[in-house]
Structure 1
Amino acid sequence: MTFLELCRAAYTRIGYSGAGPSAVTDQSAQSARVVDYVEQAWLEIQRSRENWKFMLRRFDQVTEPGITHLSLPSTEVAKGDVIRSVEKDSWYIRGETEKTSARLCYLPADHRRAIEESDEHYTGRPNYFWHDRKSVRVSPTPDRAYRITGDYYITPQTFASSDSADNRQRELSQKVPEMPEEYHIAIVWLAVRSLAAFEGDGNAFQMADGEYRKLFNQICTTELPTIRYGAPLA
């Protein structure tokens, strides 16, 4: 469902009269409220977990000698796809002539100062990594080219998150949430729940809350990493 379709679905389910929003900008009264609550519902779902599969991205870059920072591609940053967190056990390094990869260890913030200070005169094969919103840093300073791969999760996206070129080519109303389509209706029901709370409609609130919770449980089942248990100790 597109942003506009989500808004129209929420408008209908809350029981407002009329056709609903004709666009997702320059609306007023009930239509403007619906657009706002749909946007907030999509953000709330994304923020509710840090490790949704639909927010997972792959990092794959090659280092340059003497350069510790590897920036995300500008096209990703322009879309708003910046790093929220990383799958710490998924990061690997491999030299250009090597057949196997080695694990990179994630470096917590409280351990970085000593590493950074020692890096000033120390180069070699990186063993550690950490990140900010738009880049990954490795340590020690690479002495040659290495391929760095790993998984990271992006920050929550608004429907308006995109570069200006994309905005010109594709109207905001046609944006589609980056979540499996069968769960798009969860955004609608969460928005309807907020609208019902605003209108003081207890029956509509309970119905929307029940529908949303069922869908949210399904999303958690399919869109969160599988819990792996270790082998029994005895």
Structure 2
Amino acid sequence: MTFLELCQRLRQEVGAAGAGPASVTGQHGEYARLIGWIQQAWLEIQNLRTDWRFAWAEGAITMEDGFRDYALPDDFASFIADTIYLDDAPLTLLPYRIFRRHYRNASPSRPRHITVTPGDVLRLAGALQIDAPPGEGEVLTFEYYRTPQALTANSDVPRMPEPYHMLIVYKAMVQYGLFENAPEVVQQGNSQMQPLLTELHNRELPGIDMPGALA
């Protein structure tokens, strides 16, 4: 469902007046609240975990000779360990405090370690820093988790799989019910939400790697 369709479905589920909203922009009163609750519900679902599969992405940065600092993707939240390569050579991800102590002023012959500098007021995640200047044209590849997606336009679609989009509606119903002092709506939203949330956890969270059998 699109952002607009989610808002319309919320209106239907709670029995609000009218046939809208016709758009997620320019609304006032109850429709504005419905839209806001959908936005809030989607952000809260994403923030339940940082490692949802639907938040996964791949990145690639072409290196420049002599440069150790590079901008991260705008939606970067965190690296996935053991996925960072400079061409075919793996790089070790270190916490910034350790990297700063051992490698900030070091100049090894080849890059071996990488870190993310502390964020600032403009960037939540800071910048990427390598312990040695890479070669011109080398490519850094990696996997990462993205920051939560905000729904803003009518046609925006939540990243999570379509079968779970009603989770957003059910969670928003709880907020509606609390605002309207309608405990039956709160109960309905929670009862519909919990089984679907369990399914989402089972499908969209990383599995547990079990150790192999001993010989």
Per the normalisation by structure 2, the TM-score is 0.88
User: Aligned partners of 2:129, 2:104: CA distance in 1, in Å?
Assistant: 14
Counterpart for residue 148 of structure 2:
156
User: Aligned partners of 1:180, 1:4: CA distance in 2, in Å?
Assistant: 17
Higher helix share: 1
Counterpart for residue 177 of structure 1:
158
User: Aligned partners of 2:17, 2:158: CA distance in 1, in Å?
Assistant: 26
User: Aligned partners of 2:27, 2:137: CA distance in 1, in Å?
Assistant: 53
RMSD of aligned alpha carbons: 1.9
**What SS is found at the alignment partner of 1:204?**
helix
Asked if 1 retains the 8 angstrom alpha-carbon contact of 2:60 and 2:142, the reply is yes
Q: Any stretches of 5+ residues in structure 2 without a counterpart?
A: 118-124
The number of residues matched between the two structures is 208
Asked if 2 retains the 8 angstrom alpha-carbon contact of 1:123 and 1:142, the reply is no
Counterpart for residue 42 of structure 1:
42
83, 100, 125: which one pairs with 1:90?
83
Cα drift, residue 131 of structure 1: 2.2
Cα drift, residue 93 of structure 1: 2.4
**What SS is found at the alignment partner of 2:7?**
helix
Cα drift, residue 225 of structure 1: 1.2
Per the normalisation by structure 1, the TM-score is 0.82
User: Aligned partners of 1:134, 1:146: CA distance in 2, in Å?
Assistant: 22
Cα drift, residue 71 of structure 1: 2.4
Cα drift, residue 123 of structure 1: 4.7
Deviations 1:134-168 (A, max 9, x none): 642221222554322111111112113xxxxxxxx
Cα drift, residue 112 of structure 1: 2.1
Find out whether 1:106 has 2:93 as its counterpart: yes
Deviations 1:11-58 (A, max 9, x none): 111121221312111212211110000000111111111011111110
**What SS is found at the alignment partner of 2:82?**
helix
Asked if 2 retains the 8 angstrom alpha-carbon contact of 1:2 and 1:176, the reply is yes
User: Aligned partners of 1:20, 1:113: CA distance in 2, in Å?
Assistant: 54
Aligned pairs for 1:72-91 (under 5 A) are 72=72, 77=74, 81=75, 83-91=76-84
User: Aligned partners of 1:104, 1:61: CA distance in 2, in Å?
Assistant: 14
Cα drift, residue 231 of structure 1: 2.5
User: Aligned partners of 1:157, 1:229: CA distance in 2, in Å?
Assistant: 32
Counterpart for residue 118 of structure 1:
105
